[in-house]
Every structure is written in structure tokens, then in C-alpha cells.
Chain A
Amino acid sequence: MGNANRPREVRLSTTPTPKDLAQLKLGDIVYLDGLMYTAREGVYMRALEEKANIPMELPSQSAANFHCSPAARINPDGTFEMGAVTATASFRFAKWLPEWLAKSGAKLVIGKGGMSSKDYKKYFVPNGAIYLSTVGYGTGALLGRGVENVEAVHWNEELGLAQAMWVIRCKKMGPFIVASDSEGNCLFERENERISANLHKVYEGTKPATLKRFGETDDKSEELIG
């Protein structure tokens, strides 16, 4: 492992207190206990645009929204089989998240790739929420081991297996990485800034393509999401 230092590890409830969240630092490794639900574009559209009643008590039952479609099936007897669990890229859901956080009271948004610090400061911090990134990506089998039980699958008929709202009981589910803190700082932006400082050296001697394309940036330090 080269000369790397191992980051700090923390156990956290899926209904965390503000104090629990305040102590988290960018780059901390988190393991989760409690109920978690999956919600992505299908659930957001149904709950926010079609105004369907959310089929669980939020945030008292769970304040942890996982951007995920599991590799899973519903057995003919109605039981569930969940294999691997991995997050999907979150930046595509920025359109719905401000309203969702206010409505659901979610304190933990768990996904892939994070959001921008602008998003964090604008609607994560005011709602007392932070972002946890999955690791890898993705450690699907390890996260699958953290699933103690699948409690319910809501809106499967309306949305299909991949977009349905899966309610999962987690036991030491992880690892996740703290990607935003209570001040809205962004781990990925911090890392990008450090990497950008070196890029001009790597690019030395290369040349831009003869034929340009519309809509591009050639500033390599720029954030490309959002």
C-alpha cells in the first residue's frame, strides 16, 4: 500500500443527530446502521411531480436516501433476494434534491460522485444534510453484506425493479466516504484542485485537436458536473 495512511472510521445511524453529523470530516470512512431507502429519478418524479404519497414515514423511519438500484429480485412468494448494491451518479438528480431534502428530511444522501459545493451550500447545509459517497466504484458485494434485511419494495409496479423504492435494514453497511461536511465543503473539489495543479506538466507537448467542437471547455481544472 505505498506509504498511505488509513483514514478514520466512524459508525453512524441512518437517523443521525446534528451532533453526529457535525463531527464528520471530509474523507472519513462511515459504516451505517438502521433503515435506508433507495430513491432516484423515478421516486423523485413520482413523489414530487405526481405528488404521490410517500409510502413510509420520513424522516423518523429513515433519513438516509441511497441513490441506488440494487441487483435484486422479488421471489414468487413475495420475499426479496438482494445481491450486490452500488450507487449511481448523483449529480443528475440535482433538479429534484432541494425539494426532496425539504420534504423528506433526509440528512444523509448516499451516492456516487457527489454534488458541487454550490449544491451543498445552497440546500444541503440549510437542511442539515451531508453527502456520503460509496467507495470504488463500487464495492457492491461488501455493501450487499451490510444488508441485514429487505423490509419492503414500494412502487415496484409503477416504476420497475431498478427505480422502485427499496427499504433496507443495514448493519454496519459500508464503507462510505464523507464527501461533504456540515459547512458544505466538497471532498471531490478539494481533490480536483490538488490534481489540477499538476496537469499542465502532464499535458506538456500535446496539442489540441485540429477540428474544434462546440460546448467544450479547455480549462482542465473546471468541474464538469452540474
Chain B
Amino acid sequence: MISIDLIQKTAETLMDKAAIEIPEDYLDGLKSAAAVEDGDLSSFVLQAMLENYEAAKEDRRAMCGDTGTPRWYVKMGNETQIEGGPIALETALRRATANATNGVPLRPNRVHPLWRTDHDNNVGIGAPEIEYGYEPGGEWIDLITVHKGGLFGTDYRMLFPSDGIQGIKRFFLDSLVAFGKRGLACQPAIIGIGLGGCKDTCMVLGKRAACLRTVGDRNSDPKIAKLEMELKELGNSIGMGAMGFVGKSMVIDTHIEVGYCHTGGMQMSVHAFCLSSRRAVARVYADGRVEYRTDPDWFTDYQRRETVEWEMPTDHERSA
């Protein structure tokens, strides 16, 4: 049984970390981009961003004034039990979100879409989102918070098998060029692409590809991994950099996630996880241990399984 108080306390710490500390993998990616950027203005922007991350950590203040829309991804081992059950868990995550909004402070971004009611705590109808995943074996809970920002950089399109890879590249470029102008996508970004599924799952896959994988991580399917690299290079060859200025840093990494789709379609979604790629993760165990990390490690073999039944892969298969 995992303590509900420990879950809430850990969740509050994660809210704070996500808002303030840029994850190492993204920071390294941005430093590499800054090292080769030769556009005068783009280069200035990247340098300012690197200084900004330092200032945020030193002052313990949010790295960006738009602190995004906080949400939760929760993953549990098959044997996990939570004190108070799932209702207590959701209450703890809503409390942590509200407390941290006031505590850090975060911007109270969440309002009613029609009445613009603002509870000043980032909690409301459907907010924060809480999504779940499960893994075979183990008694632990992974709490992952993502504070994705901005209103720009996301799009969906129904493509068809006949559109092929060239159609995928076209929509990828269209999204980057359209949202990259004037820097609306807050690039350079981690670009997540969802392929297949149904419209809603396609969006979910793309968003998770952007927010739940780290810079440098490649899809376990070698051909998809190759396409990820190709799209990253394509994005960085547009000639556009930070803020839409002339430059070459548009994409820090590209991640693709796929889901089986209708036989006639090839749904595609594009998501940009911005210069403030806010995510923080902790694993909480029944014995009271808490391990913090920045890699959500969401897309395990189990999450990408294709078969009806699931059998734990042997060590040999896993390393192959």
C-alpha cells in the first residue's frame, strides 16, 4: 500500500521541479543547437534562453511566465495499491496542482472555455488531466507531470496510405513553417508525431511522443527511428531558427509514436514541446522510497505491444 500523503507531497515537489528546472536532456540538446547556430538573432535568443534556465534555478522561479497547463501521467505496476484508492489519488493530484500554483507561483492558466471563470489554481472541469498506464509486475507508482505551454505548434490531419512518407514530410514541414513563423511554436522544440490510431488516439500518441520521451531517445522500430532522424534534419534545414528568425535550430529532436489505424487511413498529428519542455517524474514505492528523475520512460515494450497476450521478454530478447 502506497501512502497517499507521500503521493501528494511528492506531487507538489514535482510541480515545483517541472516549472523551474529544465530537464538535462533538453538542455544538452539546446546547447548543441546553440553551438552551431550562426544566425545573429537566433543565436542571441538561444544564448538568452540558456541564461534564463540558470536564472530560474538560481532564483527558484518558474522558467517561463506561461507555466503551461499542468497535467499528470500516472503509471503503476500491476501489484500497486494506493491508500484510499483511485479517488484519493486523483484528489491528491488536484490538491498538489492547486497548492503549487499558489506556492511556486505558477500562472493560473486554466479557465472555463465559455465563461472564462478562473479558480486561480489551475484546477477545474477536466483540469488537470490525469492519464493512466500500467506495467506488468511491481508495486510502485510513477507520477509524471508535464506542463506543456502555448497555443501553437499542434495540428492534426487525415492522411491516406497513398500520401506516403512524402505526404508525412509535407505535413511535418507545413506545421513547422506555419507555427514557426514569428516563433509562435516557441522553437527549437521537441517535435512529437502521432501516426495512426483514431483521431483522438493519434493526438494522444503525438503529444506523448513529444512530452514523454527524452532528447536522443529513438523508437524501438529501427525504420521509425530512421524516419525520426530524417525528419529532425528536414526540420533543421528549413532555414528558420528561434523566434522565426533566420537560423537553423528548429528541432531539438523528433519522436514518432504509432498506433494501429483504420485500413484506409494514415492519421497524423504534430506537437511541439517548446523551449520550456517542462516535465518531472518520481517513482514512489510502498516502503516509502521516492526516486526523482526526468525521463518518464513511458514507452516500454509493454506500451508498444502488438500481441494479444503479453509475456515478459527474456533478458536476451530485450537486449536484441
Contacts and interface: CB of A to CB of B under 8 A. Distances in A.
B45 interface: yes
Interface string A188-226: 100110110011001101111111010000001001110
B55 A141 contact: yes
A81 B37 contact: no
B61 interface: yes
Given A142-B55, A209-B170, A162 B108 contact: yes
Interface string B32-56: 0011111111111101110111011
Nearest to A41: B116
Given A71-B62, A136-B48, 12 more contacts: A1-B43, A7-B40, A86-B64, A88-B66, A136-B52, A136-B242, A139-B52, A142-B55, A161-B107, A161-B120, A209-B171, A225-B182
Nearest to B44: A7
A11 to B, nearest CB: 17
A144 B52 CA distance: 10
A191 B158 contact: no
A209 B162 CA distance: 9
B35 A2 contact: yes
Interface size class of B (residues with CB under 8 A): 35 or more
Contacts of B173: 202-203, 206
Nearest to B240: A195
A48 interface: no
A160 B111 contact: yes
A114 B181 CA distance: 11
A83 B62 contact: yes
Nearest to A208: B170
Given A69-B65, A86-B64, A137-B186, A4 B59 contact: no
A68 interface: yes
Interface of A: 1-7, 27, 29, 68-73, 81, 83-89, 112-114, 133, 135-145, 160-163, 175, 177, 188, 191-192, 194-195, 198-199, 202-203, 205-211, 213, 220, 223-225
Contacts of B120: 160-161
Pick the most buried of B19, B111, B244: most chain A CB atoms within 10 A of its CB.
Answer: B244
B272 to A, nearest CB: 12
B49 A5 contact: no
Contacts of B246: 191, 194-195
Contacts of A207: 163-164, 166-167, 170
Interface string B111-123: 1000010101000
B182 A2 contact: no
Contacts of A6: 40, 44
Contacts of A89: 151-152, 184
A76 to B, nearest CB: 11
B243 interface: yes
Given A143-B65, A195-B238, A133 B40 contact: no
A220 B179 CA distance: 12
A163 B55 CA distance: 26
